[in-house]
Amino acid sequence: MSAQATKSEGLAGIIAGQSAVCSVEQGGLYYRGYEIHDLAENATFEEVAYLLLIGDKPSGAELEKFKKQMIEARALPDHAVELVKKVAKAPAVHPMDALRTVVSYLAHFDPDCQDNSKEAELRKSIRLTAQIATIIGHMQNVIDGRDIVKPDPALGHAANLLYMMRGAKPTEEEAHIIDVSLILYAEHDFNASTFTGRVIAGTLSDMHGAVTGAIAALKGPLHGGANEAAMEMIQEVGSVDNVEPFMKNAFATKRKIMGFGHRVYKEGDHRAAILHNLGRAYADKKGKEAVKWFEIGEKVQKIMADEKKIYANVDFPCGMTYFVMGIPVPQYTPIFVASRITGWAAHIIEQHENNKLIRPLSEYTGPSGLKW
């Protein structure tokens, strides 16, 4: 380690490289120059996926071709469906782990697996984006003891995902909420899972390997797993009346409140309100029992803002929204993957286009001078 080395635990404040995919700023979140509210209001997930992967807004014809490629790539080979059946209910499994195994497995049958050229990686990106939604749907079918629901080519990505999970077609509002959540979750610069993917890609390893590692990273409750952890906490609070005693106790015992704060955003996460408003409007129509979860969440948010000046990130409203839509909690982070795969793939392609091995130093703190 050199005398000039800079030290930063957790790499806070360290710029690890350049990227043209996304800009995360205190004042806003931008995907390739487009602001996130603009995209959430005016684009679909497929358009955003195209934007992230290809680099600009698609024409009508480009979008149709892209959607067709996605739809054609949805079905899994039979032997991969068999693997889903084997792992989805394995004794020690979380759906994120099962998803990781199946994605890793699909690599062995992808004709472009060992090809790191941009063209091959774009093909793999589209396949992975399509296949991951199908894996999630099939996993839920196995967990629910339902026959495997095959993808429906008449449905868009978000609607088809919900359809495959439930075996029933979602309403337009439900499909829209999922679509927007996928847009919000698609990309976030050098977050831990994307950075994992870039470190793996930086050794000139392949895209499936990088995505497999990224899935492993996203699982953690300090990252993508926060949407599940947040909803589990809200369920534990259980009632609006219990919010104050729960929070008092949490502060006294230094318990971490999940779904709050962000390494980059200090004055709130731009994505949170967009999803909160959609979820709350949906809950209002669903009735009292659904609204209750938002009322609990809102009270938790108010106490966090008033007493700690810490604000909800997108995982907090995501948990509540998916919950009132009846999506099983352990699938929240896999659905996050169904979206973030596009950002990961864009970063892996970018890493390979201008590659440099990512290899930091460590500061040694152990004993020295020992003899065996």
Q: Looking at beta carbons only, is 167 or 221 nearer to its own copies?
A: 221
Catalytic-residue membership of 262: yes
Residue 75 interacts with its own copies (CB under 8 A): yes or no: no
Among 65, 72, 109, 285, binds its own copies (CB under 8 A): 109
Catalytic-residue membership of 79: no
SS3 169: coil
Q: Determine the length of the chain.
A: 372
Tokens of 56: 């600009």
Q: Looking at beta carbons only, is 169 or 263 nearer to its own copies?
A: 263
As a whole number of angstroms, the distance between CA 261 and CA 263 comes to 7
As a whole number of angstroms, the distance between CA 99 and CA 105 comes to 10
* Site for its own copies, residues 342 to 371, rule: CB under 8 A: 355-371
* ∠ Cα 57 128 34 (to 5°): 25
Among 59, 90, 173, 277, binds its own copies (CB under 8 A): 90
As a whole number of angstroms, the distance between CA 161 and CA 341 comes to 14
Tokens of 276: 């909160």
Which of the following is catalytic: 179, 276, 315, 347?
Answer: 315
As a whole number of angstroms, the distance between CA 81 and CA 12 comes to 41
**Which amino acid is present at 348?**
I
Residue 125 interacts with its own copies (CB under 8 A): yes or no: no
Q: Looking at beta carbons only, is 190 or 322 nearer to its own copies?
A: 190
Residue 19 interacts with its own copies (CB under 8 A): yes or no: yes
- Asked if 297 contacts 320 with a C-beta cutoff of 8 angstroms, the reply is yes
Q: Looking at beta carbons only, is 98 or 275 nearer to its own copies?
A: 98
Size of the site for its own copies (CB under 8 A): 108
- Asked if 14 contacts 22 with a C-beta cutoff of 8 angstroms, the reply is no
Cα–Cα distance list, 237 to 222, 255, 329 (Å):
20, 13, 16
Among 54, 57, 150, 292, binds its own copies (CB under 8 A): 57
Residue 12 interacts with its own copies (CB under 8 A): yes or no: yes
Among 27, 42, 253, 306, binds its own copies (CB under 8 A): 42
Which of the following is catalytic: 157, 262, 276, 352?
Answer: 262
* Site for its own copies, residues 248 to 277, rule: CB under 8 A: 263-264
| Contact region with its own copies (CB under 8 A), list: 139-147, 187-195, 246-254, 316-324 | 187-195
User: Which are the catalytic amino acids?
Assistant: 262, 315
